[in-house]
Amino acid sequence: MGAVLSPIFTKANVSFMMQGLVMTVLIAVCTILLSLVFGTIMAMIRHFCTGKRAVLSALAGAYIEIFRCTPNILWILWIRFTMQGDPTFKAIFSCTLFTTAVVAEIVRGGLNGIPKGQFEGAASQGFSFWQTMFLIVLPQTYKSIIPAMLSQVITVIKDTSFLKVVDIAEFMRNSSVVMGQLRMPAQILALYVFIAMVYFVICFSLSCVVRYYQKKIRT
Amino acid sequence: MITDLFNVKRWEAFFKVLPGQYIPGFLMTLRVALAGLLLALVLGIIFGLFSTSKVKICKLLSRIYVEFFQNTPLVVQVFFYYACLPYVIGGRVPKFTLGVIGVGIYHGAYISEVIRTGIEAVPRGQFEAAYSQGFNYLQTMRYIVLPQTIKIIMPSLANQALNLVKNTSVLAMVAGMDLMYYADSWGSDRGYFVQAYLPCALMYFLICFPLAKLARWLEVRAKQTPVPKKRKEVA
């Protein structure tokens, strides 16, 4: 057992894989924060641009449909070749592209749940549109979408493993590099179990938080 | 990028490889998606029923299955099958099988959760009323619970089908001869990125957009309260 495992989990290998994990988390966090900003903007366009500005709403709707209906890998690959710049930056950019579409739908669901009386109440107190948004509506919206957003964080962490295909030094790619040095099937199996467990521990703890929040909201 | 888009020579090159690479790739994606969806539905129904049954061991099995496959990336799962299945079956694994097993088991976990929430959404009183009328478990499921469950879960199922089609593209990472693989290999070979990826995106969109529309339509329909059917008066 020790003879099988010790060549895998050497100090150098483990620290190399952990560097990958840091990269994975970094990309996931940047992606979620950026998509939350752009997703909120897009959801607001979808929700409030009516009448003369309905064309903006239609454009945002088209964006959401396009990215919801095409595979994530496609954008990761396409961006890799067609954009100049730092690979990590491009990776975050491509992940943000398709995550924004999903986040926009989540935020829009939250906005839909805000009662009309909140807007009317704010307007009667002399709040401007932006004051109403930032002080009244968005705080309530964000509170109500916490479970859905956390689920999306899980999805993003899992999606970063797609970035292996463009050779970003994230956890899956670094682990594969380590795997390239192994020969015995038992070692490869053990390393796969390790990789799966690392992702599992992160995502499962997040999903426990999701469940906790859902229970809290219901009671 | 814009000048590339209107480059006639490059589009000619694309239409030359369309029948030999893109069409077989598209069909491969479609076949993997259909067979994968079938496998996912079977697994989802079995484990979904398990998680609502009273037998502890079934419940535990279903929990483990769902949590494990939902909380690890599909990429890791597919690479795992790619590396380990040959030892199990003792030979090369066809890419089609690899794809079907990969997306089937992964989305089976999601569908199992969808079915569980659907069954749990039907109030307990419905079961009790059915039992009090002498229905057994299967009859209760068939005539009382499932018709209500199906209406609740159809939108989520359509969404899962959409994600499943998108996720078949993971096969490209293990040279799976699917649409994404052909688009990427031809594109990076020639450097005609617009011509390689735009039609590929369009083809995925062709499958996924109707599914997205279907999901939305089912969602609207599920919210409407049912109207009782008109019955013929018995004279």
DSSP structure string for A105-135 = HHHHHHHHTS-HHHHHHHHHTT--HHHIIII
Q: How confident is the model at residue A39 (pLDDT cuts 50, 70, 90)?
A: very high
- CA torsion through residues B112, B99, B83, A181, sign: negative
Q: Please answer yes or no on whether A199 and B71 come within 8 Å at the CB atom.
A: yes
Across the range B216-232, mean pLDDT stands at: 80
* A contact test, residue of B63, B65, B79 with most A CBs within 10 A: B79
CA distance A17 to chain B (A): 15
| Residue A17 binned pLDDT confidence (cut-offs 50, 70, 90) | very high
Q: How far are the Cα atoms of A20, A80, A94, B168, B185 from residue A163, in angstroms, in the given order?
A: 11, 10, 10, 16, 17
- CB–CB contact B83 A77 (8 Å): no
Name which of A65, A73, A200 is nearest B212 (Cβ-Cβ).
A65
**Does pLDDT of A1 surpass 70?**
no
At B233 the pLDDT is: 67
Q: What is the pLDDT of residues B87-137, one digit of tens each?
A: 888 888 899 999 999 999 999 999 999 999 998 888 889 989 999 999 998
Q: What percent of chain B has a predicted confidence (pLDDT) above 90? A: 59
Please tell me the distance from the alpha carbon of residue A79 to that of residue B193, in angstroms, as a whole number: 10
Tell me the residue type at A20. G
Those residues of chain B whose CB sits closer than 8 Å to some CB in chain A are 1, 67-68, 70-77, 79-80, 83-84, 87, 162, 166-170, 172-173, 180, 183-184, 187-188, 191, 193-194, 197, 200-201, 204-205, 208-209, 211-212
Closest in A71, A154, A188 to B180, CB measured: A71
- Domain definitions of chain B by residue range: 2-223
Give the span between the Cα atoms of A144 and A138, in whole angstroms.
10
CA distance B178 to chain A (A): 12
Q: Closest to B73 (Cβ–Cβ): which among A74, A81, A199?
A: A199
Percent of chain A scoring above 90 in pLDDT: 71
Residues contacting residue B177 through CB under 8 Å, at least 6 positions apart = B24, B25, B28, B95, B171
Indicate the pLDDT class of residue A174, thresholds 50, 70 and 90: very high
Tell me how far apart the alpha carbons of residues B153 and B2 are, in angstroms, rounded to a whole number.
Answer: 43
End-to-end CA distance of chain B: 74
> Once rounded to an integer, what is the mean pLDDT over residues A48-74?
91
- A45 vs A61: CA distance, rounded Å: 9
DSSP annotation of A168:
-
d(CA A175, CA A198): 11
* Mean pLDDT across A163-187: 89
Say how many CB pairs under 8 Å bridge A and B: 107
What mean pLDDT comes out for the span A14-19?
A: 93
Nearest chain B residue to A158 by CA: give it: B73
Q: What is the signed CA dihedral for B23, B81, A159, B96, rounded to 10 degrees? A: 10
For domain A2-218, which CATH number applies: 2.60.260.20, 3.30.1950.10, 3.90.1200.10, 1.10.3720.10? Answer: 1.10.3720.10
Give SS3 for A40.
Answer: helix
Domain boundaries, chain A: 2-218
pLDDT, averaged across chain A: 91
Tell if the CB–CB gap between B180 and A68 is shorter than 8 Å: no
CB-count burial class (<10 Å; 0-12, 13-18, 19+) for B13: middle
pLDDT-based confidence at residue B1 (cuts at 50, 70, 90): low
Provide mean pLDDT across the span B2-6: 76
Report CA-CA distances (Å) from A94 to A21, A166, B62, B208.
19, 11, 35, 20
**Residue tagged 């994404």 (tokens):** B180
* Cα torsion angle, A177, A150, A89, B73, sign: positive
Each residue of B61-98: pLDDT tens digit?
999 999 999 999 999 999 999 988 888 888 888 999 99
Query: Of B16, B7, B32, B20, which Cα lies nearest the Cα of B204?
Result: B32
- Cβ contacts of B166 on chain A, cutoff 8 Å: 69-72
Residue pair A154/A205 in contact (Cβ under 8 Å)? The answer is no
Identify which has the larger pLDDT, A36 or A219. Answer: A36
Q: Do B76 and A195 touch (CB under 8 A)?
A: yes
Nearest to A204 among B67, B84, B197 (CB): B67
Q: What is the pTM of this model?
A: 0.90
- Number of Cβ atoms within 10 Å of the Cβ of B61: 15
Each residue's pLDDT tens digit, A103-151: 999 999 999 999 989 989 998 999 998 999 999 999 999 999 999 999 9
**The domain over range B2-223 is classified in CATH as 1.10.3720.10:** yes
Contact A140, A76 (CB under 8 A): no
For residues A87 and A168, the answer to whether their CB atoms sit within 8 Å is yes
ipTM here: 0.90
Q: How far apart are CA B164 and CA A2, in angstroms?
A: 40
**Chain B residues within 8 A of A70 when measuring between CB atoms:** 166, 201, 204-205, 208
Q: Is-contact A174 B76, C-beta < 8 A?
A: no
Q: What contacts B71, CB < 8 A, 6 or more positions away?
A: A154, A199, A200, A203, A204, A207
A→B contacts (Cβ < 8 Å), by residue, are: 65-66, 68-74, 77-78, 81-82, 154, 157-159, 161-162, 164-165, 172, 176, 185, 188-189, 192, 195-196, 199-200, 203-204, 207
